[in-house]
Amino acid sequence: MSFLIDTDLLSLLERKRVPQKLTAWVQHNDGKIFLSVVSFAELQFGVERAPAAHRPGLVAWLAETRRAFDAATEPLSEPVLVRWKQLLADLKRANRTMTCEDSLIAATALFHGHTVATQNTRHFEVAGVPMVDPLL
């Protein structure tokens, strides 16, 4: 089983006190964890808006995270975006919605067969994507 980590968990990994359950889960699943370029965009957006005093540390952390997960970063390729459009059509038929970012992450996971690792399981339920909350 492989996992696509949602941005909420990635941001927890930046904290001074990372939850022990998350640290253990990441170590246990080393080599099976993937990230979406969508999460990197969300993190970059947050770094650019962070207080000036915090920005240098966040910039360094994000650069290290990009380096560490370079080979495990899932792009928004044309096939992923086609899967995303299928997901949006399915949601429309069911009269449901998702945020753009979450729907892109869900489509990436669905296309590649990943399980989404997130604390925000309710954000992804409507997509029908397999999920796990490593903090439970």
Write down the pLDDT at residue 115. 98
The CATH code of the domain that includes 92 is: 3.40.50.1010
Write down the pLDDT at residue 107. 98
| List of the chain residues with pLDDT < 50 | none
Write down the pLDDT at residue 50. 96
Residues 6 and 33: beta-carbon distance below 8 Å: no
> Which of 104, 132, 135 is closest to 3 using CA atoms?
132
**Number of domains observed in the structure of the chain:** 1
Write down the pLDDT at residue 59. 97
pLDDT (tens digit per residue) in 4-36: 999 999 999 999 899 999 999 999 999 999 999
Q: The domain containing residue 18 runs over which residues? A: 3-132
Write down the pLDDT at residue 43. 97
> Which of 118, 93, 95 is closest to 108 using CA atoms?
118
Write down the pLDDT at residue 116. 98
Write down the pLDDT at residue 136. 94
Write down the pLDDT at residue 63. 97
Write down the pLDDT at residue 108. 98
> Which of 22, 16, 34, 23 is closest to 70 using CA atoms?
34
